[in-house]
Amino acid sequence: MATLQLQRERVEALIDQVVSGMQRLEVLIEEDTPVSIISMDKWDWSQGVGLFSLYQYYKETGDRGILAYLTDWFDDRLREGLPPKNVNTMCPMLTLSYLYEETRRPEYLSVCEEWASYAVDDMPRTPEFGITHVTTESMNEGELRGDTLYMTVLFMGRMGVLLKKEHYVQESIRQFLIHLKYLTDTRTGLFFHGWSFIRRDNYARALWGRGNAWYTAGLVDYLGIVELPLGFEMFLVASLEQQVRKLGELQADSGMWRTVLDDPEAYEETSATAGFAYGILKAVRKGYISETFLGAGIAALQAVIRKIDANGMVQGVSYGTRMGHSRQFYNRIPQCPMPYGQSMTLLMLVESLHHLDE
Amino acid sequence: MKKSVVVIDDKPLILRSIVQTVDWNSLGCTVVGQAEDGIEGKRIIHDKQPDILITDIKMPGMSGLDLAEYMHLAFPQSKTILITGYQDFEYAKRAVKLGVYDIIVKPVRNDELQRIIGLAVHELDSARQELSQRAERDEAFNQLEERHQNSLPSLRSQFVSELIGGSVPHDDKLAETTASLGLAWNRCTVLIVRSKRPLAAVQGADSLSISPMLHGAMTEMAQLAAARREFEIIDSYRHDDLVLACLFPKPLTPRELKMKLQSFCHDFIELVRQRHGLTICIAVSPVYRQLQDLRQAYEGASALMDTSFFHTEGQVLFPEMVEPSGEGGKFSIIRDLEQFNRMLEQVSSDEMIGHLEQIIAHIRAYSEGNIRVAKGLISDVCLAAARYYYRATGDEFGFDRSINEVLEDIYRLRDMREASDYLAAFIKTVKTKLSGDDKEYSLVVKESVDYINGRFAENISLTAVAEHFGLSPSYLSRLLRAETGINFVDLVAKARIEAAKRLLRDPRLKVNEVGEMVGYKEYAYFYQVFKKTEGISPKEFKNRSKES
């Protein structure tokens, strides 16, 4: 039986390092996006993931300093004015909805209500009413992507619960179903990066690491956010188990996963590995999947910890990745510390506090 | 403090001489007033309230003797010095009677006057000192007395607790202590007070002991009720129980004692119910004469309290209520149990429940106050009913509660009435489940259910079971549904989930291991079936059983 062999003090020290690393991230490489996804004081998906992990850490520890950082961050962004609404800019809203519950500040709630209503009713849809993966740089017409579940649909379900609007919950369920329908690789139980209703194919059929990790991590949190009908809950839990089963086979000896999961030539990628570790450890703890998968989660956790450098920077994280038209595309994405690398590591470390040998 | 002096003389020369030539300062005196006649003198005395009066006897208006009398009456501590021109015995005699301090014969010699005033001052001082010392002594005494009174209740409690605990001092020491604590008794008895039903809000879930928080308030109520009946309550605390010692100062007859105690208990129970919404019961010990017997009295009350399991009616237990052992006790019980088993199969649910009174009475008699015996026998009755159900249906898991849960329920029963209610409900469940038109399962169904319950951990299929009994699968399926009301798959699931629930309580087993042990190879499938039947996931079930 795999055990963690970690002390609480050690994990807490790592958490502090990774948090301060996240807050000190600098743009070291030439970015190809219109808005920086590295710098922490911008409003986009990459920062949103980091905020959510900080929120989870706050809930775990009750550290008021972290809560203050989060509310300050949102207050600054709200003062500057928010960016146009799309799948990716929706991401920080999940955290804001929880901050509303912490602070009961009406301005938080009204922003959340406005954005949730946009996601449910006005966001561009593909055929079959999937949410089109519109981003700041492109309309991506007719395109479904796995990240949408994490970036937008979690928030949608969450707002259905918060506002007691059942049709928000139903819409989040429908989005999960259509994404799983078009993105599941039935041969492996893993997930493709995207689907195009125009091309009617899955592009390069790439089983991209981080995209899969967002599914694992996001799904576990979705199950915790929304009380689902048992039939649908079982559908998700079973899909999760299929995915994790295959991941177990593909995990490298190092405990890492590769950026293209089934390509032995691809490099080992840290953010995906951290997301898988978080999702697997939490799914086991919550009883969604069998404890036989605990070992894979712990091996991944230990591998990620080895990627944290002395400055708290999580190394080996691939830069933001667009839809690739070939598998080689993914292999050529550069690696550097990124907010989501920090934050997925942070989610994982916070979760590991539940698994210490105490 | 300087002494105040008033000088009165109708001869101005003498008056001036006294006022001006005596060295008042060195005597520690001040002249606060002077007068030349008795009437004016009396007014000044009245105004100035002097410590010392020096007055001539013969004066117009009022004589010096009159003034001396007035002075003595108004200010008993004061000193009066008379000045007289005559050595007159009669005057002297009267003066002494009036409490005059001294008499000086004219002509007044300053040194003599000064000496006498000095003596008077000295006497005034020592009298005053004595007075203040006495006041201090009185004050100190009062404080001690008060402190003693305040600590008396806790000292009494402590003393009585020691007696109840069994540490009895020598007779001399006992007499001394009881005297110092002001304890008077001629008869004594001990009461144990408990809550009749556990009040989760007030105390620990299962405890019937009175919460220590209520201890003080309840003792006060008891003391109030006792004072009205001319006896005293001293509170004590033993084995978490509120224990009250009752001391009766008069030698009462047993009948009088019983009446006093009964009406006291009635009042006390009512007071506690009104003030605290708490239903209490009280066990009263036999009455003793000696405080040395409080230990024995406590043991008597304690034993009596234990029998409350068998006495469900009243809230007050008196010693004579316990049936003397042997009388009414029974030597045999198996015959009753066997008869009960036969009745299970032969008579209706209502008749069974009618008969329950009798079996409960027999169990009570046989147990002779031993709770463990009574609960053991009640368990046997329940198990017999469960076995009967199994014989009729072949289904070990047909109840909502598993056998271990049933036995735990019985362990927790608080009195025979609860036991009786529990048995009635249990028997009713068994009979109702079987009565589906009073029809037992047919042999095939019985055997099939038993077969399933014995093999659910294997990959068991309808075809295999049907083959085993030489039947067609569709026929068996119809048969099962018709008689049990659920289909084959659900029968298997029910058996598996019941078994899983027991296994999940075992901390050594992991959830996925339990799933596999009861026959679910797929974790997700186990999760689904479990959540469907129990409403929570197996992991949540396990976590909850850990907490409880």
- Give the position of tokens 């200010």: B75
Give me the amino acid identity at B249: P
> Measured between alpha carbons, how far is B537 from A228 in angstroms, rounded to an integer?
13
Any B CB within 8 A of A2 CB: no
Tokens, residue A270: 């840290």
> Measured between alpha carbons, how far is A170 from A178 in angstroms, rounded to an integer?
12
pLDDT score, position A221: 92
Tokens, residue B29: 């005196």
pLDDT score, position B253: 81
CB contact under 8 A, B523 and A290: yes
Q: Select from A344, A356, A295 the least CA-distant residue to A57.
A: A344
With cut-offs at 50, 70 and 90, classify the pLDDT of residue A303. very high
Any A CB within 8 A of B538 CB: yes
Any A CB within 8 A of B539 CB: yes
Average pLDDT score over residue span A100-128: 94
- Residue B74: which H helix or E strand, with range? helix B64-74
- Give the residue from chain B lying closest to A233, CA to CA: B528
Interface with chain A: mutation pick from B512, B530, B536, highest number of A CBs within 10 Å: B512
Mean pLDDT taken over chain A: 90
Q: Do A182 and A144 meet the contact criterion of CB atoms below 8 Å apart?
A: yes
* Closest chain A C-alpha to B528 CA, distance in angstroms: 6
| pLDDT tens by residue, A61-97 | 888 888 998 999 999 999 999 999 999 899 999 999 9
Domains defined along chain A, listed by start: 8-28+37-355 (1.50.10.10)
Q: Select from B395, B418, B406, B407 the least CA-distant residue to B485.
A: B395
In 3-state terms chain B splits into helix, strand, coil percentages (rounded to 5) of 60, 10, 25
Average pLDDT score over residue span A289-297: 94
- Residues from chain A that touch B531, judged by Cβ atoms under 8 A, are 230, 233
* Alpha carbon B96 to chain centroid, angstroms: 67
CB contact under 8 A, A289 and B511: no
Give me the amino acid identity at A71: T
Total CB pairs under 8 A between chain A and B: 34
Tokens, residue B135: 């006041």
- Give the position of tokens 């296994």: B503
Helix-then-strand count for chain A, H and E: 14, 6
Rg, Å, chain B Cα set: 47
> Measured between alpha carbons, how far is B328 from B324 in angstroms, rounded to an integer?
8
- Give the position of tokens 């030349």: B36
DSSP β-bridge partners for residue A316: none
B61: three-class secondary structure by DSSP: coil
* CATH C-level class of B443-547: mainly alpha
pLDDT score, position A251: 97
pLDDT score, position B328: 52
Any B CB within 8 A of A3 CB: no
- Give the residue from chain A lying closest to B539, CA to CA: A287
- Give the residue from chain A lying closest to B534, CA to CA: A230
The highest-confidence range among A248-252, A328-332, B234-238, by mean pLDDT, is A248-252
CB contact under 8 A, B512 and A288: no
- Residues from chain B that touch A238, judged by Cβ atoms under 8 A, are 524
In 3-state terms chain A splits into helix, strand, coil percentages (rounded to 5) of 60, 5, 35
Q: What is the pLDDT along chain B (548 residues), one digit of tens a residue?
A: 788 999 998 888 888 888 888 888 888 899 999 888 888 888 888 888 899 999 988 887 788 888 888 888 888 888 899 888 776 677 777 877 888 888 888 788 888 888 888 888 888 888 888 888 888 888 888 888 888 777 888 888 888 888 888 888 888 888 888 888 888 888 889 888 888 765 443 333 456 777 777 888 888 888 888 888 889 888 888 877 889 989 888 888 888 888 888 888 888 888 888 888 888 888 888 888 888 888 888 888 888 887 777 766 667 877 765 444 444 556 778 888 888 888 877 777 777 777 888 888 888 888 877 888 888 888 888 888 888 888 777 777 777 778 888 888 888 888 888 888 888 888 888 877 776 544 567 888 888 888 888 888 888 889 888 888 888 888 888 888 888 888 898 889 988 998 898 889 888 899 999 999 999 988 989 999 999 888 899 999 998 887 76
- Residues from chain B that touch A291, judged by Cβ atoms under 8 A, are 510-512
Query: Does pLDDT of A324 surpass 60?
Result: yes
Any A CB within 8 A of B151 CB: no
> Measured between alpha carbons, how far is A179 from A201 in angstroms, rounded to an integer?
13
CATH code of the domain occupying B184-321: 3.30.70.270
Contacts of B422 (CB under 8 A, 6+ apart): B378, B409, B410, B413
pLDDT score, position B205: 44
Interface with chain B: mutation pick from A290, A292, A294, highest number of B CBs within 10 Å: A290
Contacts of A72 (CB under 8 A, 6+ apart): none
Confidence check on the interface: ipTM exceeds 0.85, yes or no: no
Virtual torsion, Cα A246, A249, A253, A256, nearest 10 deg: -10
Interior CA angle at A201 toward A198 and A204, to 5°? Answer: 120
Tokens, residue A344: 């997925």
- Residues from chain B that touch A289, judged by Cβ atoms under 8 A, are 523-524
| pLDDT tens by residue, B428-472 | 888 777 765 445 678 888 888 888 888 888 888 898 888 888 888
* Largest separation between any pair of C-alpha atoms in chain A: 54
Query: Does pLDDT of A12 surpass 50?
Result: yes
| pLDDT tens by residue, A187-245 | 999 999 999 999 999 999 999 999 999 999 889 999 999 999 999 999 999 999 999 99
Q: Do A149 and A176 meet the contact criterion of CB atoms below 8 Å apart?
A: yes
CB contact under 8 A, A291 and B538: no
* CATH C-level class of B3-129: alpha beta
Q: Which of A102-106, A130-134, B81-85, B210-214 has the lowest mean pLDDT?
A: B210-214
pLDDT score, position A30: 54
Interior CA angle at B20 toward B14 and B22, to 5°? Answer: 95
pLDDT score, position B323: 47
> Measured between alpha carbons, how far is B252 from B262 in angstroms, rounded to an integer?
14
CB crowding B510-519: b at 16 or more within 10 Å, else e: bbbebbbebb
